[in-house]
Amino acid sequence: MNIHEYQARELFRQAGIPVPDGEVATTPAEVEEIARRLGGGVVVKAQVHAGGRGKAGGVKLAQSPEEARAAAEQILQLTIKDLPVQKVLVAPIVDIASESYLGMIMDRESQRPVIMVSPAGGIDIEEVAATTPEKIFKLAIDPRYGLLSHQAMGLAFALYHDVKQVRAAARIMEQLYQAFVTNGASLAEINPLITTSAGEVLAIDAKMSLDDNVVDRRPDLEALRDESAEAPSEVLAREAGLTFIKLDGNVGCVVNGAGLAMATMDLVKYYGGEPANFLDIGGSSNPEKVVSALRIITMDPNIKAILFNIFGGITRTDDVANGIVAALDQFSVDVPIVIRLTGTNEDEALAILEGVGKTALKDMDEAVQQVVRVAQEAA
Ligand code: GDP
Ligand code: MN
């Protein structure tokens, strides 16, 4: 789950990281009022689940409450990376002497949290990695010991020369690790981590992604969810209890079981197609889940064909067939559907499908080849 900057700032603050004050607003009038209350210049920042807001015009400095209002009027009309801006953060301007990068991710390769720092801050870290990788310093953290102070100090020396600033940055790294671990983050990022002209080290941006499996058992984190900032298909999938991940291809996949879903996607690619999603309808077989699955998949305008790949064990294939029939009854599906099902109650399933003029294949290879061909013909 992604959260907004203002929410990540709060989690950082709870871990002790120095973050300037800030308040959230949804209207230009509120922004003006906050700016007046804060006094002095403010920065108005779009709150969307996307980076690169600065470049997109979503971060503006304002010297007066009136300017802040005008900035908010513009920012609240923006759409950044397909996400409409509905909220802004208003924070006092800090004068920046230097910008660095500090981030942490859960790294699959080392199977550990990896901390990354770079003196080239403020810009996309992907860009730094591509053009000047020697400016990025990384360390895999052993979760048994956490980030040790001497390790943090070593990394901080890659950012600063002033020992006071090195100590301050090392402390922030340890606090970031705490925020990362206690909130089950998969990513936590401060870009930029700045020094002020007075020599202070501060976090003026905050980004966090939280592991859904942690959010599920933490009501305090679940409360940070902003459904209006999430893709409608993902909201619907979560409500329906489906595991769904949208991808860029045009072959929609409805599969039971995560392993079979991955094998299906592999096979789609093997035969030259591109999966439009990962979707696991789960082990239980509830026709309602199939209806939701089809509703979600058909929301994607890129879809050219849909594949059902059902291996009936605990899942009853007749329940899936009933789900397909119910869905076709409730709304129209404009793309071809290829159905492969085999296993528990398959004879009943075939009879149900035949009743609405549909057929099903038994062989997975055959079904995948067919759906890829149909999608290519329609593309
Ligand atoms: P992002 O573009 O979405 O990563 O948004 P950031 O919060 O990182 O802001 C982008 C850039 O705006 C920063 O790198 C800074 O250069 C600038 N900026 C943000 N806040 C302030 C501030 O309080 N004072 C000054 N002078 N610049 C700021
Ligand atoms: Mn940033």
What's the pLDDT tens digit per position in 265-296? Answer: 999 999 999 999 999 998 766 899 999 999 99
Of 166, 194, 222, the domain-final residue: 222
- Ligand 1 atom closest to 123 (CA): 14
Catalytic hit among 5, 6, 99, 101: 101
Check which CATH number belongs to the domain holding 110 and give it.
Answer: 3.30.470.20
C-alpha dihedral sign at 75, 81, 83, 88: negative
**Same structural domain for residues 207 and 114?**
yes
The answer to whether position 207 is within a domain reads yes
| Same domain membership, residue 242 and residue 214 | no
Distance 60 CA to ligand 1 centre (A): 8
6 is an active site residue: no
- Give the number of the ligand closest to the Cα of residue 40: 1
304 occurs within a structural domain: yes
Of 5, 174, 189, 274, which is the active-site residue?
189
Q: Tell me if residue 177 is catalytic.
A: no
**pLDDT single digits (tens) 130-185:** 999 999 999 999 999 999 999 999 999 999 999 999 999 999 999 999 999 999 99
User: Of the ligands numbered here, which is closest to the C-alpha atom of 95?
Assistant: 1
Mean pLDDT over 315-326 rounds to 95
The answer to whether residues 128 and 86 belong to one domain is: no
8 A C-beta contact, residue 65 and residue 32: yes
Q: In this structure, are 218 and 251 located in the same domain?
A: no
Confidence at residue 98, expressed as pLDDT on a 0 to 100 scale: 97
- Strand segments, DSSP code E, in the chain are 23-25, 42-46, 59-62, 79-80, 83-84, 88-92, 96-107, 112-118, 137-140, 185-196, 201-203, 207-210, 243-246, 251-255, 277-280, 305-312, 337-343
- Per residue in 217-240, pLDDT (tens digit) is 999 999 999 988 887 888 889 888
Residues 79 and 106 in one domain: no
The alpha carbon of 57 and the centre of ligand 2 are apart by a number of angstroms equal to 13
Which residues have C-beta within 8 Å of that of residue 275, sequence separation ≥ 6? Answer: 247, 249, 251, 253, 264, 265, 268, 269
| pLDDT for residue 284 | 67
Q: Which domain-ending residue is among 187, 202, 222?
A: 222
CA-proximal residue: ligand 1, atom 23 (nearest) = 93
Determine the structural domain holding residue 312 and report its residue range.
231-378
Task: Return the ligand number nearest the Cα of 52.
Answer: 1
Residue 238's pLDDT is: 86
**Do residues 113 and 209 both lie within one domain?**
yes
Q: What CATH number does residue 56 fall under?
A: 3.30.1490.20
- Domain end: 92, 113, 137, which one? 92
Q: How far is the CA of 237 from the centre of ligand 2 (A)?
A: 30
What residues pack around ion ligand 2 (CB closer than 5 A)?
191, 205
pLDDT at 52 over 90: no
> Which two structure tokens, joined as six digits, stand for 204?
């003026």
Examine the domain organization and report whether 146 and 175 are in the same domain. Answer: yes
Question: How far apart are the CA of 98 and the centre of ligand 1, in A?
Answer: 12
On whether both 281 and 356 belong to a single domain, the answer is yes
Q: How many structural domains does the chain have?
A: 3
Name 30's Cβ contacts closer than 8 Å, sequence gap at least 6.
none
Averaged pLDDT of the chain: 95
pTM recorded for the entire structure: 0.82
User: Which residues does a 6 A CB cutoff place in the pocket of ligand 1?
Assistant: 43, 45, 51-54, 59, 61, 93-94, 96, 99, 122, 191-192, 204-205
Ligand 2 centroid from CA 42, angstroms: 16
Both 359 and 278 in one domain: the answer is: yes
Q: Which helix or strand (DSSP H or E) is residue 379 part of? A: none
Do 238 and 365 have their domain in common?
Answer: yes
Neighbour-count burial of 221, counting CB atoms closer than 10 A to its CB (0-12 exposed, 13-18 middle, 19+ buried): buried
